[in-house]
Structure 1
Amino acid sequence: MNAPVKGSGAAGTKYEGPEIAENQGFLELDLMALYRTLRKRLGLIVAVTLGLTALVMVVVLQQTPLYTAETQVLLDRQKMQVTDMEAVMSGMPADSATVDSEVEILRSRALAARVVDRLNLMQDPEFNGKLREPSLLRWLDPRVWIGEALKLVEAERPALNQEILDRAELNSVIDSLLSRLTVSRQRLTYVINVSFVSESPEKAARIANAIADTYILDQLEAKFDATRQANDWLSRRLGELRQQVQDSERAVEIFRAENGLESLASGVTVSEQQLSELNAQLILARTALAEARAKYERARQIRASGGTIESMADVVQSTTISQLRQKQAELARELANLASRYGPRHPEVVNAEAQRRDIERQIGAEISRIIGSLQNNVSVAETRVASLEESLREIRGETGDSGQAMVQLRELEREAAANRAVYESFLNRFKETSQQQDLQVPDSRVISQATAPIEPSHPRKALSLALALVLSAMLGVGLAFLLEHLDNGIETGRDVEQVLGLPHLVSLPATPAEKGADRKVMNPQDYLLAKPLSAYSEGLRSLRSALQLSNVDNPPTVILFTSALPSEGKTTSSSSFARAAAAAGLKVVIVDCDLRHPSVHKAFGIGRPETGLVEMLAERLELSKVLVKDPKSDLDILPISTGTANPPDLLGSEQMRLLLERLRNDYDLVVLDSAPVLPVSDSRVLSRLADETVFVVRWSETPKDAAQAAIRELRLYNAAIAGVVLAVVDTAQQAKYGYGDGGYYYSKYSRYYVN
């Protein structure tokens, strides 16, 4: 029960502390501390764990089972192209932002409102709180408290119209629907999971499928609306463009007519056509003029030079000359025949000569006529060329005057052509969108329909139980460490040595009276006599041995018992220590030095005496007059009858010193029971007169800071502190506090005691 004392504790000596191996790691110390804490607070941990787990299971069993149904929607990247044209509302690009946007659309209030209306969820008590019967568990939901508070606030407001109330009720149902809906993207795919939780498995599947179907229908309607709006806009725009085309084309025709710019079938104007034809005729006329002039000049040159002109083409081609030449040839033959027959003077020859000359004259006249014709042809050609040139000049003048009009005409034509092109483009698009309106394909499709689940998804009883056990155990452990941290008591010898820096002399087990049993029958002082082999008696013997070994050469005789605060067991310890020493055959006296609240006489069951310590010191009575004999042992008691106005002066007086010297000489052991250290200074003054001071700490109750403060006060007075006694120790509880203290092994050696 006692710890070995390595230092005296008297002035000039120093306590070296407990023997702890220097090579012991901090990890081992921390693990041992954790183990001691858990073992000490095991009851609390078990109680918290079981209590909270039971509470959680009660709540879980009272909860309505919820079922989760899931459907999967795929954003389809493949587009069906029926016609070779761009869609009015093109398909969605398959990027991450688009998929996330579609997830938000599935979570939108607008889509939820359509589902509420489609499935008539306003009449479903699961979603409409106004139709739900009240339950006890609903008050565990803080939203219910908030709702009730809002109702009280709204009750003080003016009455709202029915439309606002209906809208608020619809919003409440939508909020309830959205709170049970979970929409998530499946990793990095284009698949979106739509999960819904409901009290009914069939309802969960129906609503999940309805959300997916409504989402796809919403996509189709959006495309139909976009196509219809495009057609309406194109129709209105086509009317405007058609009028613009008509106006621009009419302006072209009016301008052309006003400026004489009518076009032929070839597309050119009349002036341009005339100018072209005149140019062609002029070229031909000039060519003919050159040819006629060349013929005439040739004929004139031949005639002027005296050459024959009969070789000219016009002469050769002349029928008259050909006939005359033929007659001339026939006449020449005839003349030759006549000349040979008749001679040159024959009348027939002369007549034939005359005919020949007449024919030559006719040929010459015909040639002159041909040359005149050539000259006439030259004049006609010149006149024609001049006429054509004049006409060409007139046409060119008219063309120059209409040049500016042609520029304006072309501008009007270009504007009309542009209007016509825009009109035709819009007309083609209108026809395409009209065809596309009846053929719309959604960008998503359902790849997995939700089915009614068999097992509820909430509450998961096994998981809830496991989590409740783990979390409540963690809470219990945390609470245990918190209480351990807040625990300010001293409970083991290790605590004594580490906190107070003093030797742990002994731990005195709590007697049955101190534990609450047989309080009126047997107090601790009587218990040690009745149970001499008890752990309590052994503890007192160990205390006496420890005090004797604290100074082997000069064992202490005057021993002071004190404590930091009242009711910590110092009187019980000192009186039991004195009675145990007397029972061992020593001559012992116990002096009650608590002048303010004397209690030694009560500990031994004797009445309050008429004289005592104060009277002896003040009136110098004989010691034998004030000593009282212990009725159950040979112990002498010096009690206190009355107090004094100044206890510290009395206890520190020379008379008190002389009294202690006398008792030291007359007794083997003088035990002083004094007042607590912190409230008064009596014990501090008295500690100077004692050989050793025993500091009593009540197990698990004396605050550490109070004990430390008391030790500091005693050291200021140079008190010789022998060590600390742990009083009223619950050995069964102390055994749970861990290694390093003898109480831990109490169960193993308790058979040596007879308690």
Structure 2
Amino acid sequence: MSTAIAPSQMGGAPVHYRGPALSQEGSQPPEQQVGPRDLLRVVYRYRTMMVLIVGAITLAVLVQQLLSPTLYRSSSTVQVELIDEVGTNQADVNSRNAERVANAVRLHRSRSAAEQVIRDLDLVHNPVFLRELGNVPSDAKVLYQAATNKVLSMTTMNSETGSDLIEIAVTARSPELAAEIANQIPPSVRALRTSKSNERRAELLSSLEYEQQARARAAEETARHVADFRETHQMLVGAGGAEDLAQINRIAVQSAAATAARDGAAARSAGIARASQMQSTALATSGALDQLERRRGELVAEASKLGTSLGPNHPDVKRLGSQLAAVDSSIAEERGRVQAAAQADASARGAQMAQIARSEAAGDSAQASRLEGIVAGLSSMAYRNTSNTVQLEKLVREATLADDAYKAIAGRVEQVRAQMQLEGVSSSIVSPAVPNYDPIAPAPVKMAITALLGSTVLAFLIAFARDFLDDRLRTTAQIRRLFGLPTLGMLPLLNQDLSEDPKESPVIREPQSLFAEVARSAYTEVRALDRRPPAQSSNSQVVLVTSPLPGDGKSTVSLTLAAAGIAMGDRTVILDLDLRKRGALQRLQSDMQVPDLVDIVCGRANLDSLVSPRSANPYDGPDMPVTLDGEAGVPIPVEAASPHQIVLLSAKEPVAEPALLLSSSRLKTLLEQLRERFELVIINAPAALAVRDARAMCHFADQTVLVARWGHTTGDQMRAALEMLDDSVGGVIFDQVDYAEHARRRYGDSVQYYADSASYYSSPVAAREAMAARIRRMFRGHSWRPVEA
């Protein structure tokens, strides 16, 4: 911002430093800090614009309120409900579903909902609504569009975070119409949502049913392919896989068991045959043999008894002996017969058992052979099934996929049918709207106060932004803060163009004017700049004057400094090295009937022919004649009115190759001669950003003075010029300074108070503009009028 307090621009020794300095604590320097006083200056600086903005906005709002019709507002409250697949109200569970409520709000304020309300209430034929509409279009389509836009503009929706309630507010000129529309929006939205949802789902269901039929045919066809393949290749379910191997293994086990049973039966039959031959008949008996054994025992017992008592020769004993011998003979005979029968019976049973074992062995052998054949057949079939498994699995996969797709489509069809009946988002009115006869608009006082406050804030922001974004240079504080350079002077803007003739300069013609005073002060500041050795030992000084861009007034500043030097009694010369284009100094050189700079550098003329003898300062002579100025009695030198000589060295015509002239040794020699003959040599250089000549000329001069056009040169232009010129710049001179505008902006520097010192100046100073003039200047640029001090 350019609102900092700056020291005087018309006096004081210059301070040489580079860049903005910091305080000891590392904070911003005072001129970079923005305080309340700076803000007040911004307000004062743009007060006219701010008053216009505030007045225009407040007046417009007030007129709009006074001309606006009386409006009424009615509100209804709607609760959003979520219905799941089984018809359960989930509003309590999902009351914080912000997305659901937000979607419902968007649907209630949609254009389709407004069109549905218009159809349901037949608003295009309602005279009350047509009065709300104003101009009724004759075309039906345009009428519906206008009615829809009107309903949308009349309706507002409000919903609180975390709540499933929506407030529908309708504003209209008729309270009854507002309440009617507010109560009709939820049913219309519900009907619209239901119809649109059912239409979409009906289309979806139709497409799904068609897809379901196609998938059913595909599933049936793939299943038929699998069945045909199994039938053709005799592959039952499970064939060609682990089932075949398991079956083969089971039959192979049975075959091995049958073979083992056959071998066991053969071995058993051979053993039975051998065992039948090894049977003993010693223990064979029969009933007759047992009876004879018992009779023999009785006879033996009776013979023993009688033999003890009667003796062996007793007839009874002999008789018993004879009977015992007969019984023994019968026993032996019977035993032989019994043993023979037993032997025959054992042989018959062994032969029978051997035959049975042989029969079992033959059966087991036949079963083993049959099972081996079955195993061989199954193995052969299993190999065939294995080779067909790839094709079968492909067919099975196709059949499975087709069946899964059919099941998915069938499930989706059932889901859509269920959703068409139950599922969806519904809304119901929990608090219907009633006509409210208390008007809500217009409120002129309230809106005017609001507009006044809001426009004041807006005007301040615009003023602050305008001041902040204004990069044009106007104050010494800006030069010091941004570039660390002193401001050597601020030449006032004249009410007429400055004459190119140095004799007509206000510095000489009006020595007591404000312009002359500032010019002399700037000249003093320039003369106080540091000089390069060995120039420090002499009174001669070479100053290079340039500007960022053409048109900033560097030629005017050069002439003004030269005129101020002459007025101060110093011999001054202007060396114009801006040779590329025809400017004010070249036109002035053309009017002189003397050789120009090119003639001197080329040797066609010498410097002595151009420089006349030095005229003495009129105040230096002891017997100087004077006159008295009126009643004040102030002595005025007689020779003060005579013009002093300003020596100008320029080219009469633009130079095609100025670089050759600048690099010539004769130009350096000319500069040395000028140092010897003049106290101040002013080099008028081209604009620094236009060509590189100014940078090449810096080594000619002791110091470089950069000219900035007040309110026109920007900070970026100045910064680019300083980067181009490096460290050779000793200060800045403002040209065409609008003192009246500068004072009105209240930058806090000495120019702000210059009007209070008007009595010191003989010429008129700029007066403050009237408001009408400031308004015109805001749109057409700067202008000011001088008034008598």
TM-score for the superposition, normalised by structure 2: 0.49
Deviations 1:311-334 (A, max 9, x none): xxxxxxxxxxxxxxxxxxxxxxxx
Go from structure 1 to structure 2 and tell me whether the alpha carbon gap of 1:563 and 1:621 turns closer, same or farther (over 3 Å shift). Answer: same
Go from structure 1 to structure 2 and tell me whether the alpha carbon gap of 1:4 and 1:200 turns closer, same or farther (over 3 Å shift). Answer: same
Confirm whether residue 464 of structure 1 aligns to residue 447 of structure 2. yes
SS at match of 1:664: helix
Go from structure 1 to structure 2 and tell me whether the alpha carbon gap of 1:642 and 1:94 turns closer, same or farther (over 3 Å shift). Answer: closer
Opposite residue 703 of structure 1, the aligned amino acid is T
SS at match of 1:670: strand
Go from structure 1 to structure 2 and tell me whether the alpha carbon gap of 1:682 and 1:68 turns closer, same or farther (over 3 Å shift). Answer: same
**Residue aligning to 1:530:** 509
Q: How many residues align?
A: 473
Confirm whether residue 696 of structure 1 aligns to residue 707 of structure 2. yes
Deviation at 1:470, TM superposition (A): 3.7
Equivalent residues of 1:15, 1:502 under 8 A apart = yes
SS at match of 1:735: helix
SS at match of 1:680: coil
One of 473, 476, 488 as aligned partner of 1:505: 488
Deviation at 1:118, TM superposition (A): 9.1
SS at match of 1:619: coil
Equivalent residues of 2:490, 2:733 under 8 A apart = yes
Go from structure 1 to structure 2 and tell me whether the alpha carbon gap of 1:661 and 1:445 turns closer, same or farther (over 3 Å shift). Answer: closer
Which of these two proteins has the greater Rg computed from alpha carbons? 1
Opposite residue 565 of structure 1, the aligned amino acid is L
State how far apart, in whole Å, the 2-side matches of 1:134 and 1:546 are.
Answer: 77
**Residue aligning to 2:125:** 123
SS at match of 2:70: coil
Go from structure 1 to structure 2 and tell me whether the alpha carbon gap of 1:750 and 1:522 turns closer, same or farther (over 3 Å shift). Answer: farther
SS at match of 1:127: helix
SS at match of 2:580: coil
Opposite residue 198 of structure 1, the aligned amino acid is A
**Residue aligning to 2:693:** 682
Structure 1 unaligned residues grouped into runs of 5+: 9-13, 75-88, 136-147, 152-164, 219-442
Confirm whether residue 571 of structure 1 aligns to residue 555 of structure 2. yes
One of 12, 22, 33 as aligned partner of 1:29: 33
State how far apart, in whole Å, the 2-side matches of 1:67 and 1:612 are.
Answer: 87
SS at match of 1:744: helix
State how far apart, in whole Å, the 1-side matches of 2:130 and 2:661 are.
Answer: 86
State how far apart, in whole Å, the 1-side matches of 2:525 and 2:157 are.
Answer: 77
One of 55, 64, 68 as aligned partner of 2:69: 64
**Identity rate of aligned residues, in percent?**
25
Deviation at 1:520, TM superposition (A): 7.8
Deviation at 1:23, TM superposition (A): 8.2
**Residue aligning to 2:732:** 724
State how far apart, in whole Å, the 2-side matches of 1:548 and 1:172 are.
Answer: 78
Structure 2 unaligned residues grouped into runs of 5+: 1-8, 80-86, 192-427, 616-641, 765-789
Deviation at 1:574, TM superposition (A): 0.9
Confirm whether residue 712 of structure 1 aligns to residue 716 of structure 2. no
Go from structure 1 to structure 2 and tell me whether the alpha carbon gap of 1:177 and 1:628 turns closer, same or farther (over 3 Å shift). Answer: same
Go from structure 1 to structure 2 and tell me whether the alpha carbon gap of 1:203 and 1:504 turns closer, same or farther (over 3 Å shift). Answer: same
State how far apart, in whole Å, the 2-side matches of 1:750 and 1:486 are.
Answer: 33
Go from structure 1 to structure 2 and tell me whether the alpha carbon gap of 1:653 and 1:170 turns closer, same or farther (over 3 Å shift). Answer: closer
**Residue aligning to 2:603:** 619
State how far apart, in whole Å, the 2-side matches of 1:170 and 1:473 are.
Answer: 41
State how far apart, in whole Å, the 2-side matches of 1:52 and 1:498 are.
Answer: 37
Deviation at 1:535, TM superposition (A): 2.3
State how far apart, in whole Å, the 1-side matches of 2:694 and 2:546 are.
Answer: 7
Go from structure 1 to structure 2 and tell me whether the alpha carbon gap of 1:612 and 1:546 turns closer, same or farther (over 3 Å shift). Answer: same
SS at match of 1:671: strand
One of 479, 492, 503 as aligned partner of 2:475: 492
Deviations 1:287-340 (A, max 9, x none): xxxxxxxxxxxxxxxxxxxxxxxxxxxxxxxxxxxxxxxxxxxxxxxxxxxxxx
Opposite residue 449 of structure 2, the aligned amino acid is A
Go from structure 1 to structure 2 and tell me whether the alpha carbon gap of 1:626 and 1:46 turns closer, same or farther (over 3 Å shift). Answer: same
Confirm whether residue 746 of structure 1 aligns to residue 754 of structure 2. yes
State how far apart, in whole Å, the 1-side matches of 2:45 and 2:756 are.
Answer: 19
SS at match of 1:30: coil
**Residue aligning to 2:646:** 635
Equivalent residues of 2:155, 2:171 under 8 A apart = yes
Deviation at 1:30, TM superposition (A): 2.7
Match runs of 1:266-277 below 5 Å: none
Confirm whether residue 452 of structure 1 aligns to residue 476 of structure 2. no
Equivalent residues of 1:2, 1:507 under 8 A apart = yes
**Residue aligning to 1:160:** none
State how far apart, in whole Å, the 2-side matches of 1:90 and 1:703 are.
Answer: 72
Opposite residue 644 of structure 1, the aligned amino acid is V
Deviation at 1:193, TM superposition (A): 7.3
State how far apart, in whole Å, the 2-side matches of 1:522 and 1:462 are.
Answer: 64
Equivalent residues of 2:546, 2:705 under 8 A apart = yes
State how far apart, in whole Å, the 2-side matches of 1:529 and 1:672 are.
Answer: 21
Deviation at 1:134, TM superposition (A): 6.2
Equivalent residues of 2:490, 2:737 under 8 A apart = yes
After TM superposition, the structure 1 stretch with the greater mean CA deviation from structure 2, 123-132 or 638-647, is 123-132
SS at match of 2:545: strand
**Residue aligning to 1:594:** 578
Equivalent residues of 1:559, 1:672 under 8 A apart = yes
SS at match of 1:677: coil
State how far apart, in whole Å, the 1-side matches of 2:750 and 2:153 are.
Answer: 61
**Residue aligning to 1:371:** none
Deviations 1:700-737 (A, max 9, x none): 2123222222222222xx63x32111111112222355
State how far apart, in whole Å, the 2-side matches of 1:184 and 1:602 are.
Answer: 76
Confirm whether residue 200 of structure 1 aligns to residue 200 of structure 2. no
State how far apart, in whole Å, the 2-side matches of 1:112 and 1:184 are.
Answer: 17
Deviation at 1:578, TM superposition (A): 0.7
SS at match of 1:679: coil
**Residue aligning to 1:558:** 542
State how far apart, in whole Å, the 2-side matches of 1:563 and 1:186 are.
Answer: 63
SS at match of 2:507: helix
Equivalent residues of 2:97, 2:162 under 8 A apart = no
Go from structure 1 to structure 2 and tell me whether the alpha carbon gap of 1:678 and 1:49 turns closer, same or farther (over 3 Å shift). Answer: same
**Residue aligning to 1:544:** 523
Confirm whether residue 46 of structure 1 aligns to residue 51 of structure 2. yes
Opposite residue 466 of structure 1, the aligned amino acid is I
SS at match of 2:672: helix
Deviation at 1:665, TM superposition (A): 1.8
State how far apart, in whole Å, the 2-side matches of 1:697 and 1:713 are.
Answer: 15
SS at match of 2:681: strand
Go from structure 1 to structure 2 and tell me whether the alpha carbon gap of 1:99 and 1:591 turns closer, same or farther (over 3 Å shift). Answer: closer
**Residue aligning to 2:671:** 660
Confirm whether residue 648 of structure 1 aligns to residue 649 of structure 2. no
Equivalent residues of 1:69, 1:452 under 8 A apart = no
One of 564, 569, 575 as aligned partner of 1:585: 569
Equivalent residues of 1:650, 1:656 under 8 A apart = yes
SS at match of 1:637: strand
Go from structure 1 to structure 2 and tell me whether the alpha carbon gap of 1:18 and 1:626 turns closer, same or farther (over 3 Å shift). Answer: farther
State how far apart, in whole Å, the 2-side matches of 1:134 and 1:520 are.
Answer: 69
Opposite residue 517 of structure 2, the aligned amino acid is E
State how far apart, in whole Å, the 2-side matches of 1:580 and 1:679 are.
Answer: 28
Go from structure 1 to structure 2 and tell me whether the alpha carbon gap of 1:483 and 1:605 turns closer, same or farther (over 3 Å shift). Answer: farther
State how far apart, in whole Å, the 2-side matches of 1:115 and 1:615 are.
Answer: 94
State how far apart, in whole Å, the 2-side matches of 1:578 and 1:697 are.
Answer: 18
SS at match of 2:652: coil
State how far apart, in whole Å, the 2-side matches of 1:187 and 1:684 are.
Answer: 67
Opposite residue 752 of structure 2, the aligned amino acid is Y
Deviation at 1:558, TM superposition (A): 1.9
